Structure 1
């Protein structure tokens, strides 16, 4: 009986080893595929990075991306936080429908979202807005609108995840003591979600920097007018200037790497929170 149990245990260990080795091999394959693509950009773009830093076109596209991404991300957070609060803390009418629409938008191709915006702003309402001074189609303001339609559902999901992770007993105690919903939101929810909010801002901003499909459909890519970093890569490749395209790609890669590092630092647990958790477990 003991011999049979030992054989079964040995076979189980061997099976686990085979499965682990298979997973390691697949992980190496994924690393080779993804890492190879990144390495190609680094190798081809690094020698031309100085050239990109002195190019007026690249500097213009960098500035356009920075400004539009910052504006759209700020608007995203101003809208997504109360939306997530309404979805998680109130009995909002058609709550389920709102959730379905947001999830559907996340799954749609970005070029389709841009086409939908083009239809909206080409309608009589859009023409009225243009006559009133708010031109969107083929204008820099359209870049902000394209980034909004792509990133707003993403920001709402992140904010909702952050709010769902909070201990609602704190809010219940505050409400029992007479705190208004706004005061609970301001003094409890916002401080507890601070890191999540900042992290959502960083990640949404990075997505805005890389958005291209919806922007291409709504505003096109015009040199030194509606040219963002992804648009600059597209234009340079279209005109055969692959060297400048690789240099611009390297700039985007550096920005993405910096964003990833910042997001990871913000998501790192705070030391006093970890120590407090250890103390509670020790009790």
Structure 2
């Protein structure tokens, strides 16, 4: 009988194919997919590398690698992504939470708030993280996509936040009437210009929802909508914090100022690129 391959051998065998498919870090992805196939935490995988793979785990790993070769994002294959230290359910109906978005969370947590509105909540990672970090706070998450709202609801349940997070289907502020005013409005809206879409990686362009990536045109339409309704939904002194593309700081700041808000900060990400615009209603 031919002995079963170990986890380490299976990972090594998968790397050339992943590399040929254009995967940036094939070793990292193969290890994450192996941990998923084995049902172990990624940081515990090393303890299992020398063990022979059971047939069920081998089949699960092979299927996961096949999906990754199609450039399906790892988070969609495993069904989850860590964000601010918590695991969030991810599907094809949602954006994959990104490390850059944690800059928005950090900016929001820098000052107190009691009521928060998340526009385009997606997985709910922003809203739910803020509520988890501030047990006295409550909030509303709005999204046009029923699929995304279902994922956000599942994440709220997993984190025990159903009682403090209200999730509603809405086109921007349409369903927000009667739910405010808010001390804080946050959003990671679609901001990629239409002519930039072709340059995105296949993982983003082909697998994440287009409506969450681009509003079309110059990429600023979402900010125009957010700016238009902000003053009507913020309490006096309330804050508006949004994620932006790295070249959009000046344009988004101008939109917010023309809407009567004071722009307080453009926050960079860890690579030094503009990533968050923060404003206040005075």
Pick the TM interval, shorter chain. Answer: under 0.3
Larger radius of gyration: 1
TM-score, normalised by the number of residues in structure 2: 0.23
TM-score, normalised by the number of residues in structure 1: 0.23
